[in-house]
């Protein structure tokens, strides 16, 4: 059975700014006219990406990070199948008109790392860049980023996430909630902080009994809890859970 090392770090990475957005959005439908295919909007490039970027900018603003200062930031993102819309698009085009009708650029939006890459390139973030995935990715991203700060490997880190459930069926035009969230972590400040990461994740044997049935792999859920807790300046610490992983939030004012 897994047991934790005795020396769990107590260091705290402080929260400097947060942003959370949730908007019902639909996957752009595939046009009936094949010749329109290469020019159609791509879900990850044209819907998810812009909202994630806006959320990240909002968190950087809230943290008082100027565009010049952003260069020093590391970037950790979390997503659990948020970029699946791209593989579904590729498969649909292959199943229909064939490979020559794929938008050449589509593969740049296939990997979960395309989210990290887009944030780094467009916001000029130049530190360590790590992309975490899976249902535990949200909690793991906060925990790993906190470790980057407390170990001194990075001065400040933008932690961001996107979650966008796939539609129930092919051609389903019902919008599904596109959740994006971002947190800026740094070494000091009066606000609350993140500490005590306990990665668990990914395997049913680990997840069993630890998570509520409501845990549907939404990597943005722990970010939303964190942002609400931070906004309320709660005097009580809480634990964030997701996909079997855990991380603790400790109140500010004790720095």
Partner 1 sequence: MNTARRGRDTARSVAVTGLGVLSPGGRGTDALWRVCERGGAAFRTVEHFDVSRTGARVAGFVPDTGDADTPAPGQPGRLPYLLHRATSDALADAEARTGRRRVPTALVVGTTDSGGCPSAAAWRAWRDGRAPAADAGWTPYAAPGWDGPVIRVGNASAAGATALGVGADLVRDGLAERVLVCGVDTVTETAFQGLASLRTLSPRGCRPFSARRSGIRVSECAAAVVLERTAPDAHAHLRGWGSSNEARQAARPDVEGLAKAVRRALRDARTAPDELGYVNAHAAGTRHGDVAELHALAEVLGDHLPRVPVVSSKAALGHCQGAAGTVEAIVTVLTLARGQVLPTLGLADRDPRWHHLNLGEQSPGSPPETGMTISCGLGGSNVAVVFGRAA
**Contact set for partner 1, span 132-171 (CB under 8 A):** 132-134, 136-137, 140, 144, 147-148, 151, 153, 166, 169-170
- Report how far apart, in Å, the C-alpha atoms of 188 and of each of 13, 64, 79 are: 7, 13, 27
CA-based nearest residue to 241, from 131, 136, 132, 133: 136
Find the binder of partner 1 among 186, 192, 242, 244 (CB under 8 A): 244
At its nearest, how many Å lie between partner 1 and the CB of residue 178?
Answer: 17
DSSP class of 108? G
Using the contact rule CB under 8 A, the part of the chain among 14-22, 58-66, 114-122, 183-191 near partner 1 is 114-122
b (16+ CB within 10 A) / e for 54-69: ebbbbbbebbebeeee
Find the binder of partner 1 among 22, 69, 72, 108 (CB under 8 A): 108
Find the binder of partner 1 among 90, 155, 238, 250 (CB under 8 A): 90
Told to check if 64 binds partner 1 by CB under 8 A, we report: no
Find the binder of partner 1 among 26, 72, 117, 215 (CB under 8 A): 117
DSSP class of 43? I
DSSP class of 255? -
With respect to partner 1, which residue has the nearer C-beta, 208 or 214?
Answer: 208
């Amino acid at each position: 059975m897994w047991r934790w090392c005795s020396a769990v770090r107590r260091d705290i990475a402080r929260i400097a700014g947060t942003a959370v957005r949730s908007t019902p959005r639909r996957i752009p439908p595939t046009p009936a006219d094949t010749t329109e295919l290469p020019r159609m909007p791509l879900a990850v490039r044209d819907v998810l990406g812009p909202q994630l970027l806006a959320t990240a900018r909002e968190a950087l603003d809230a943290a008082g990070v100027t565009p010049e200062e952003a260069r020093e930031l590391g970037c950790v993102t979390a997503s659990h199948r948020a970029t699946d819309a791209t593989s579904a698009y590729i498969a649909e085009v292959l199943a229909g008109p064939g490979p020559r009708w794929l938008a050449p650029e589509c593969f740049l939006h296939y990997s979960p790392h395309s989210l990290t890459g887009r944030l780094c390139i467009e916001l000029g973030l130049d530190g360590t860049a790590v992309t975490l995935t899976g249902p535990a990715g949200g909690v793991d991203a906060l925990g790993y980023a906190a470790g980057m700060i407390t170990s001194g490997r990075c001065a400040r880190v933008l932690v961001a996430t996107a979650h966008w459930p796939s539609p129930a069926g092919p051609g389903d035009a019902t919008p599904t909630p596109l959740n994006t969230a971002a947190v800026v972590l740094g070494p000091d400040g009066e606000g609350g902080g993140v500490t005590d990461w306990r990665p668990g994740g990914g395997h049913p044997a680990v997840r069993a009994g630890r998570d509520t049935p409501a845990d549907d792999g939404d990597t943005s859920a722990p970010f939303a809890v964190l942002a609400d807790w931070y906004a309320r300046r709660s005097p009580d610490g809480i634990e964030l859970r997701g996909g079997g992983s855990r991380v603790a939030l400790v109140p500010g004012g004790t720095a």
